[in-house]
Amino acid sequence: MSEDAGRDCVFCRIAAGEIPAQRVAESAQVLAFRDLNAQAPTHVLLIPKQHVVASAGEMFELAAAIARDEKLDQGWRLVTNVGPHAGQTVHHLHLHLIGGRPMQWPPG
């Protein structure tokens, strides 16, 4: 666990229920909630409930299930931002699930 885990990490505080979030789904190790600053009609964040430990397979499975629930039958995108060039702002592993509108490639 890195030093910003726990009280200083916004996603740890959401997972602990200390900061409100619009929860969409969860599984044993993964929590999904809506992004505060949505970039598309569906913009869901998937995080491991623990600061570092993550099961990639479980995250992808829950993302696919949410995409089905949200009826994103025209397509959807999973994004993970790592580091300053990608614009990462929260240093707790997370996937963005985005869908509900046509998207450009490559991303900006």
Binding site for ligand AMP (CB under 6 A): 10, 19, 21, 35-37, 45, 81, 87-90
Other Cβ atoms closer than 10 A to 52: 10
Other Cβ atoms closer than 10 A to 103: 14
- Count the site residues for Zn ion by CB under 5 A: 5
* Of 51, 92, 94, 96, catalytic: 94
Residue 94 known to be catalytic: yes
- Which of positions 78-97 make contact with Zn ion (CB under 5 A)? 92
Minimum CB distance to ligand AMP, residue 87 (Å): 5
The listed partner (ligand AMP, Zn ion, none) that binds 36, CB under 5 to 8 Å by sort, is ligand AMP
The listed partner (Zn ion, ligand AMP, none) that binds 74, CB under 5 to 8 Å by sort, is none
The listed partner (ligand AMP, Zn ion, none) that binds 51, CB under 5 to 8 Å by sort, is Zn ion
For the chain, give the DSSP string.
--TT-GGG-HHHHHHTTSS---EEEE-SSEEEEE-TT-SSSEEEEEEESSSS---HHHHHHHHHHHHHHTT-TT-EEEE---SGGGT----S--EEEEESS---SS--
Q: Where on the chain is the footprint of Zn ion (CB under 5 A)?
A: 9, 11-12, 51, 92
Active site residues: 94
